[in-house]
Amino acid sequence: MDDYNSLYTDSRYRNFDKEAVELYVKLQRRLKTLNNIKLLTLGSFLAIIVWQTYHDNSYIFENTIGNQRYILSLLIAYTTNHIISFFLHFFAYKNVENKPYKYFYVRGLSKIVFLLFSPDYFYALLFKNTIKENNKNCNENWCNDYCLRDNDGFGICLKAWDYIKIKNKFFIEFSNWGNVIISIVLLISSILYRLSIDWLLYSIYLLIILRTISRGIEVIYAFYKDIANVNDKIFSNKKGNRTYYVHGWKNSLLLKSSRISLAVHTLLEFIFLYSVNYYFLSRFISGEYLSHNMVATQYSNFINFLFYSFSVSMFNFSFTSFPSIYWMLAHIFQISLSFILTILSIAGYLGINSNMLERDNKFYIETHRLLKLKSNVKKKNFDWMNIKF
């Protein structure tokens, strides 16, 4: 912590730039709009489920579809999943950055595994890397020679990190809200599906399963990285006469509260995604057997599966006999994810490093002030209009 503090005592780094504060305020307001869209989708989803509970007219289809059509569905789902992941993260990138996207080399062959199985993790990595490369230097002319840089003086300028941290924070939040919205839209379309083209419905279900896997790997890997490698950084100037060692460096400016909110939202997203996973398994793989034994109440509808999924996430382990190996896999995967996300929330709440740097304190006071100021101005304008008419 000491070196963290002294790293910023130099007058050039003491406080956040005015521009950095303004960027934060601008993005925070933009995020609020997306948040409203998220709440709207969530509301309509719940309304549809309640409606569906009392009006069961779900499309009846055969338990199996032919091999050929199965492969076609899988191909469609796989490609669509990649397209969705790419554009979701592209959208998040476009919101935080006004430079056009440019690919920068990402190290490590292991990334191929992510490209194949977790496009969400892969594209997030790609765009975050570009944000880093875009903002390597602060705006000063002398930055190359005099600024403090990480990687022993050869990496990113310390002041530039302020902007990268802010952009990363919002990139993460935009992607997360976007993910929740997309998951809900997919759920709604799978529930309301009424066409008689079975491979299309099958594709939607497979797409939801692929998204579950993709997001699951992303969460598990991010968690592993969070506990396994503490980020250490060494900052230095070109001459090397000023060197700082920083323990527990964070790449994004996420407060404790934001981290918890992200974890809770992701948990919610998984509850939704898994409810469709079980719904699908019971309709296609296990047939009638399930709906009458494991999850059904008086209404044999989607809502049963939502309740079931919720109870699994809340550690109602329910180790009864599973109707199929796929069901068991889904169950185990969901419990692991819920466990991780719950731990993340608790760890975030108890947080070891809860004390903030003075510059961070100042920064949040200033952004709060500006956010309040702007919403007050809005209100005043509104009142004024009301009086006029």
List residues binding Zn ion (CB under 5 A).
138, 143, 147, 157, 159
DSSP codes of every residue in 127-174: HHHHHHHHTSS-S-TTHHHHS-BHHHHTS-BHHHHHHHHHHHHHHHHH
Cβ atoms of residues 173 and 262 within 8 Å: yes
Rank residues 11 and 229 by Cβ distance to Zn ion and give the closer one. Answer: 11
Q: Which is nearer to Zn ion, 159 or 283 (CB)?
A: 159
Least Å distance, CB 333 to Zn ion, is 44
Minimum distance from residue 132 beta carbon to Zn ion (Å)? 14
Nearest approach in angstroms of CB 143 to Zn ion is: 3
The nearest distance, CB 226 to Zn ion, in angstroms, is 28
In angstroms, rounded to a whole number, what is the distance separating the alpha carbons of residues 20 and 159? 10
Q: Cα 46–76–262 angle (5° rounding)?
A: 40
User: Considering beta carbons, is residue 147 or 263 the nearer one to Zn ion?
Assistant: 147
Q: List for the chain the helix, strand, coil content (%; round to 5).
A: 70, 5, 25
Rounded Cα distance between 295 and 283, Å, is: 12
The span from the CA of 119 to the CA of 134, in Å, is: 22
Q: Which is nearer to Zn ion, 147 or 187 (CB)?
A: 147
- Closer residue to Zn ion (CB): 147 or 204: 147
Q: How far is the CB of 135 from Zn ion (least distance, A)?
A: 10
Q: 232-236 and 243-247 as β-strands: parallel, antiparallel, unpaired?
A: antiparallel
Nearer to Zn ion, 81 or 135 (CB): 135
Q: Are 296 and 282 in contact (CB under 8 A)?
A: no
- Element holding 64 (H helix, E strand): none
Q: Which is nearer to Zn ion, 69 or 359 (CB)?
A: 359
Q: Residues 134, 135, 136, 137: is their CA dihedral positive or negative?
A: positive
DSSP string computed for 73-89: HHHHHHHHHHHHHHHHH
Shortest distance in whole angstroms from residue 86 CB to Zn ion: 32
Q: In the complex, what is the shortest distance from the CB of residue 141 to Zn ion, in angstroms, rounded to a whole number?
A: 10
